[in-house]
Structure formats: C-alpha cells, structure tokens
Structure 1
C-alpha cells in the first residue's frame, strides 16, 4: 500500500520535517525454519516485512496484516522480539524525514503461498537462516534476536 493516508494527511501540514512514527517488523518463519523476505520496490534490497500500523490498530495485528498484504502469506504473531527507536532518521527520495519506533514480532506462517502481493515488493521468498541474501545490519540483528528465543530486547542504555 505504501504510505498510509493518515501519514499523507499529516505531511500536508508538516511538510518534510522529521516525524516520529510507529513501525512494526515481522520475522516470519515457516515449519522448516525458513525466513520470509521481500525485495523492496523502493530500493531493490531484500528486507524483513515491515510497515506502519493504522490508527487504533494493535501492533501484532499490523504485523500480521503487513505480512499478508506484501507476501500473500497468512501468519500469526508468536512473541515480541524487540522494541526500539531507530537511531538515525530515514530521508526518503521525496525529502520526507522519518524516525521509526519499531516493535519486531516473531511470526509463524499459517498458510498461503509466498508471492508478490502488492506494489511494495519486487520479489518475495523463503530463505534458510544460513542462506540469506544480503540484509542490512539492523535486519540481521532483529533476526538474530528472534532466533535466540530470548527475552524481548530493548536498549538497556536508554532504560
């Protein structure tokens, strides 16, 4: 879906200035332990499935919705992996600046076939944890946290 309408409405008044936005990331595993990834249409890179919750939408529901919208895979949220603010703002090609407060969920695939399901992805696919395509460091960190089955991660320096 791209940028939600409520963000477009805020941008109409705020312009390109920095916005702190909620975000969710889904680390989806299938029964074989493979990770679901999407190759993003905006930068061509492989990434974890992520998006912005709608107003009033619970974060876990948003993660599950984003997985389906982007990949056609049905899933369920199993646990919270991490909660953190992205350290650096993101500047998009149109000049919009955002910093995300992300909640990452470990999700279990429950059905559906992985395929490009919207305009946000060029490709989607399942990958073994030891055979991932190149991913950004923050994605690898989240994935590592999800696969360790430890407690929810947060930045203890900020607590």
Structure 2
C-alpha cells in the first residue's frame, strides 16, 4: 500500500502519532557519514524514512536510502532501535518515530546530483563535524553509529 502515511494523515490530520522509520548509515573510505539536507525541514539527517504498509524495516531502509541519495545499498546489519523523541514538521504534523538504524554498504547507483522533493543536498561529514541535525534522535543515532559502525 503506497503512500500509507498520506492515507493515515488524511484520517487523523495533524494529531501526534507514532510512526515506524528506517535509516541507513552509509560511510565513505574516510569513515565519514552520508547525510541529506532535507527539503521539508532544511536540516540534515540520515537517509531514511517511513515504512510503507507491509514493508520490513530493512526493506524500507534500502528503498529510502535509494530515494534520498540515489545509492543502491544492501543492509550489512542492524545497529540499534531508537524510540525516544518527536519530530514536528513544517506542515504541522507531529510524530514520535521508532527508528531501526542499519549499517549499509553501497552496491550500485550514484549520488543524486540534483534536488528532489525530499533532498536538497548530499554530503559526507566527519562524525566530529556534523551540521545542524533534524532532531535529538538523529543526533543519538549518529553518536551510536560513530562507535558501532
């Protein structure tokens, strides 16, 4: 069922809800992490997003990394699950996100070279020099990835 979140939001409006998300850690040879500048909030996050109905966390991770970055990845392993914190989106939506964070490795594709409706820019960052992030959960995921990826 594509656009599951859009359908749910059509029913509940901006009511705070709990959403399942998946994110992928993509590292380059210098052990820098790939982040995308989000079109909706204009801050940086890991490539990832909401599960569609019937999808596993790992499947959503692979799909969302491709959508956000242009890279085709395979999941290496689950790093951790993060379930604290909320996100308030510019359109008024509020959600508590339960995110499974995966270590991934690129197996194809190329980094997007143009803006999309979700990604304004892509860049690899050293863990010690991260830009303004989406939320506390993103910060916690990156701290965990630095030590465990």
CA distance in 1, matches of 2:29, 2:52: 29
Task: Give the deviation of 1:137 after TM superposition.
Answer: 4.2
Q: More deviation in 41-50 or 24-33?
A: 24-33
TM-score, L = length of structure 2: 0.84
| Structure 2 residue aligned with 1:146 | 145
- CA RMSD in angstroms, aligned pairs only: 2.1
Matched, 1:94 2:91: yes
Partner of 1:30, secondary structure, is: coil
Cα contact 1:31–1:109 (8 A) shared by 2? no
| Structure 2 residue aligned with 1:37 | 35
Distance change (3 Å), C-alpha of 1:108 and 1:95: same
Structure label with greater radius of gyration: 1
Q: Structure 2 matches for 1:106-145, cutoff 5 A? A: 106-115=103-112, 116=114, 118-135=116-133, 136-145=135-144
Aligned residue pairs total 146
Task: Give the deviation of 1:67 after TM superposition.
Answer: 0.8
Q: More deviation in 25-34 or 56-65?
A: 25-34
Structure 2 regions of 5+ residues with no counterpart? Answer: none
Task: Give the deviation of 1:74 after TM superposition.
Answer: 1.5
Q: Structure 2 matches for 1:2-81, cutoff 5 A? A: 5-81=3-79
Partner of 1:69, secondary structure, is: helix
Distance change (3 Å), C-alpha of 1:139 and 1:11: closer
CA distance in 1, matches of 2:55, 2:88: 25
Structure 1 residue ranges, 4+ long, deviating more than 4 angstroms after superposition: none
